[in-house]
Amino acid sequence: FCAAVVEAVGGRVAAVKPQSAFFERHGSAGIAVLERLLLDLREAGTLSLLDVKRGDVGSTMGAYAQAYLADGAPLAADAITVTPYLGTGALAPALDTAAETGRGVFVLVLTSNPEAAAVQHAGAGQAGAPSVAGSVLQDVARLNAGAGPVGDVGMVVGATVGRAPEQLGLDLAGANGIVLAPGVGAQGATPQDVATTFAGLPRRVLVPVSRGILSAGPAPERLRDAAARLNSELVAQLWT
């Protein structure tokens, strides 16, 4: 199935975002498939964004960085997702390794699941204090300051969050990074939602869609057509 996906969209999309958990649950056999998928994407000239949401401290975070961001690592991807809730500073091993090897890191800021608001909106409304999401975004902006055309550190902001960035006072454009905007399709967001939430950022938004495209398979031509249709809808909304 992974080979069919690569055949269908390789070279035709900005990136492919494998969700590591669905490979890990099959043990070593699943990890072997993930290794092959990452290799096949590389050979197809297609960027890989591995969704692993890793976050830890010290040498453990360093080990994760070596696993996913080091040159020659079996699971090396072009970018990964990371979680900042042990402190954004704890992500330094991943950020440093990504910078050294020309890879990217996407930090969770406002995620697409409704449960996240209890943590990520916390602190909003307190005089002079940012929300948790706002604090993380400030760290991303600091890390990307002076980089051009955009920095190496991206942010995950769900397409399902509606007006939350505005309500929380988040300056997504000022963070100078690429926005990964999950939630279109099975989670309920639409291309119009993407255009509304990320108005003014059409060149900086990556919209991953998994089930909404994969359900059209497994034939490569049907997967390709589904991806092309969705891409056309997104372009029409973001550029009008």
Whether the CB-CB separation of 202 and 9 falls below 8 Å is answered with no
Annotated active-site residue 17? The verdict is no
| Residue 125: C-alpha distances to residues 81, 86, 167, 173 (Å) | 28, 23, 10, 22
pLDDT at residue 224, as a whole number? 96
Convert the pLDDT of each residue in 151-164 to its tens digit: 999 999 999 999 99
CA 126 to chain centre: 29
Number of H helices, E strands in the chain: 11, 7
CA 100 to chain centre: 20
Q: CA angle 43-47-53, nearest 5°?
A: 125
Domain boundaries, position 146: 2-238
pLDDT at residue 200, as a whole number? 84
In total, how many domains does the chain have?
1
pLDDT of residue 62 exceeding 80, the answer is yes
Q: Which whole number is the average pLDDT over 45-57?
A: 98
pLDDT of residue 240 exceeding 80, the answer is no
Instruction: Supply the mean pLDDT for the chain.
Output: 95
Q: What whole-number distance in Å separates Cα of residue 20 and Cα of residue 17?
A: 9
pLDDT of residue 238 exceeding 80, the answer is yes
| The two three-digit tokens of residue 71, written as one number | 């040159």
Convert the pLDDT of each residue in 8-29 to its tens digit: 999 999 999 999 999 999 999 9
Q: Which whole number is the average pLDDT over 187-208?
A: 93
pLDDT of residue 148 exceeding 90, the answer is no
Q: Which whole number is the average pLDDT over 98-120?
A: 97
pLDDT at residue 46, as a whole number? 98
Q: Which whole number is the average pLDDT over 176-189?
A: 95
pLDDT of residue 239 exceeding 90, the answer is no
DSSP-derived 3-state class of residue 155: strand
Q: What whole-number distance in Å separates Cα of residue 180 and Cα of residue 236?
A: 19
pLDDT at residue 105, as a whole number? 98
Give me the CATH number covering residue 102.
3.20.20.70
pLDDT of residue 67 exceeding 90, the answer is yes
| Catalytic choice (53, 117, 196, 202) | 53
Q: Which whole number is the average pLDDT over 57-73?
A: 98
Q: Which residue has the higher pLDDT, 7 or 127?
A: 7
pLDDT of residue 169 exceeding 80, the answer is yes
pLDDT of residue 71 exceeding 80, the answer is yes
DSSP-derived 3-state class of residue 179: strand
Convert the pLDDT of each residue in 74-103 to its tens digit: 999 999 999 999 999 999 999 999 999 999
pLDDT at residue 126, as a whole number? 76
pLDDT at residue 134, as a whole number? 97
pLDDT at residue 186, as a whole number? 87
